[in-house]
């Protein structure tokens, strides 16, 4: 049982965590880019676009 747990933790650290970190980084970059464009369009007098889908946490 201990070996199975060790293999699981090793797999998660080496394979899954880097993917999750990359996705999280891309999401934050996209959110920042969207916020900047929303601020720019607000200052230009254009209304905000509603209905844009984002990622939600559980």
DSSP character at residue 50 = P
Q: What is the pLDDT of residues 4-58, one digit of tens each?
A: 999 999 999 999 999 999 999 999 999 888 888 777 666 655 555 555 556 666 6
> What is the reported pLDDT for 49?
54
pTM, to two decimals: 0.51
Angle at 35 between CA 56 and CA 47, to 5 degrees: 105
> What is the reported pLDDT for 36?
81
> What is the reported pLDDT for 11?
94
> What is the reported pLDDT for 55?
60
């Amino acid at each position: 049982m201990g070996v199975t747990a060790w293999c699981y933790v090793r797999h998660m650290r080496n394979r899954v965590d880097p993917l999750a970190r990359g996705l999280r980084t891309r999401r934050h970059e996209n959110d920042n880019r969207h916020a900047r464009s929303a601020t720019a369009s607000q200052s230009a007098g254009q209304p905000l676009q509603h209905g844009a889908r984002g990622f939600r946490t559980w």
